[in-house]
Every structure is written in C-alpha cells, then in structure tokens.
Chains A and B, each alone.
Chain A
Amino acid sequence: MAESMDFLKSMSIATSGLRAQAGRMRVISENIANADSTASTAGGDPYRRKVPTFTSTLDRALDAQVVSLGRIKTDTTSSFRIKHEPGNPAADANGNVKYPNVNSLVEMTDMREAQRSYEANLNIISATRRMIQRTLDILKA
C-alpha cells in the first residue's frame, strides 16, 4: 500500500527543505566571510556577492514537489564599494580600492530568513514524528 509511506514522504520533503536552507546558509556565510576580500591585483575586481536560488522539482520517487538549491549566481546588479586607500596593494592608479558588494545588513536579514525557514521545516518533521507515534500507540492499546 502506497499510503503507508506517506508520513515518511512528508519527512523527506521537509528534509529537502532543510538541505536547501542549509545550502543557503553556506552561501550567506561565504558572503559575510568575504565581505572585505579585495582583489589580488591592483585595480582588479574584488569578491562578488553570491546569491542562492531555489527551484521546485518533482521528485518522481516521492511523487511530490521537493525543493532544491538551484544555481548559485553572482550579484552583478549592485555596485562595489569604493574606498580611497592609496596604500592598499589592490588600489588602482587613482588610489581607489574596490570592496565587495556585500552589505552585511542584507546578509543578516537573509540569514534570519533562512533560519526561520529551517525551523519551519524542523517543525514539520517533529509534527510528523508525533503523528507516527500516535499511529504506533494504536497498536499498544
């Protein structure tokens, strides 16, 4: 009977959510860690902010829409922060240094959102677990 596996399906779907959010956290921490990574050559481009994307894919084995981390793209729309530091090895001819387009406030907001979604998925798993427990209680009675 296919229905008997439905609770495990719910758990697998929630796990796909956990995995995707954890991947998003990884990208966010990469951005924060590299918030001040300048170029290694004079006048070169520094670290560019990365943006995780999510896609909803049909898992044929589960017959459900699971989520997965799509391509990790780079943020090309926002501009680099420019500081005047003539002594910096990465400075161009005018003494300006390009710093990454990472805004720590934006990253923190994204991190909170990822955390919240992660907790929501965990909540699904524990709720499903309690439902399985109730089913097993029928046998005990």
Chain B
Amino acid sequence: MAITDLPMLSMLRTKMQWHQERQRVLAENVSNSDTPNFRPRDLVEPSFDKTGINGMHEISMVRTSASHIQAAGVSEAFGSNTNGGYETRPAGNAVNIEDEMLKVASNQMDYAAAASLYTKSLDLIKTAIGKR
C-alpha cells in the first residue's frame, strides 16, 4: 500500500485537486468578464462518504479507446454548476467580478488549509516511523 492510498491523504488530495480545478474555472470566469453572452460557472463541492471516498459520480462521454481525444470543456472529475450569476448585464454577461474575487480568495485560503493539513499528516507518518 502506497502512502498516498491512506484515506486521509487521498481525501486531502481530492480536495486539493478540486481547488486546483476550481481555480481554473474561476480564472475562466474572470478573464471572460467582458465577453458578451458569457455565463459564469462554478464547481460542485466534493462530498466524501464514511470511508473517505469522493462520492461524486462524473458524467462525461466515454472513451472507447485510449487514443481518442477527451471531450473538451468537460471537467474530468468534478461536476460543474452553471446556475451562477444572478445579475445579467445588457450584453448578456453575468460575471460579477466582486463575487469572483471573493470565490478566488476563499478558494486560495481553503487550498492553503488543505495543504497545511497534508503537511501535518505527513509529519504524523514521520513521527510513526520514528524520524523525529
């Protein structure tokens, strides 16, 4: 069993991947904040069951061969939520920059929390194997 298979670490890893993916989606929203008819997107938060396995079931096109190109624009592991945006400007753009900045800041802080928890978990393992 590899170290990364520990439930604690794999949970944190999933969470960090989710934050990474969310950062990408938020960057898309902000860079398109002046594009007509652009609607912002967000990711659905991952949920974990008792065993620490990500309970999200992805919906994406099935690849029948490894050499096929993956369907573009579909996030691989996390569901996306497109009902964001409650004020639409006349040009059809629904991105609210303040809202996005708030999301970016909270995303960054949660990522930092997950990263430091990961460090602490590694410290725990180091203690167990008697390194310190």
Contacts and interface: CB of A to CB of B under 8 A. Distances in A.
Interface of A: 2-3, 6-7, 9-11, 13-14, 16-17, 20-21, 24, 53-56, 58, 60, 63-67, 113, 116-117, 120-121, 123-124, 127-128, 130-131, 134-135, 137-138, 141
Contacts of A120: 30, 33, 97, 100-101
Given A6-B21, A55-B35, A117 B28 contact: no
A127 B101 CA distance: 10
Contacts, number: 118
A66 B17 CA distance: 21
A127 B104 contact: yes
By DSSP majority rule, is chain B's interface helix, strand, loop, or mixed? Answer: helix
Contacts of B111: 131, 134
A67 B31 contact: yes
B interface residue count range (under 10 / 10 to 19 / 20 to 34 / 35 or more): 35 or more
Interface in B100-127: 100-101, 104-105, 107-108, 111-112, 115-116, 118-119, 122-123
Interface of B: 16-17, 19-21, 23-24, 26-28, 30-36, 38, 70, 72-73, 76, 97, 100-101, 104-105, 107-108, 111-112, 115-116, 118-119, 122-123
B36 A54 contact: yes
Given A3-B17, A138-B122, A127 B35 contact: no
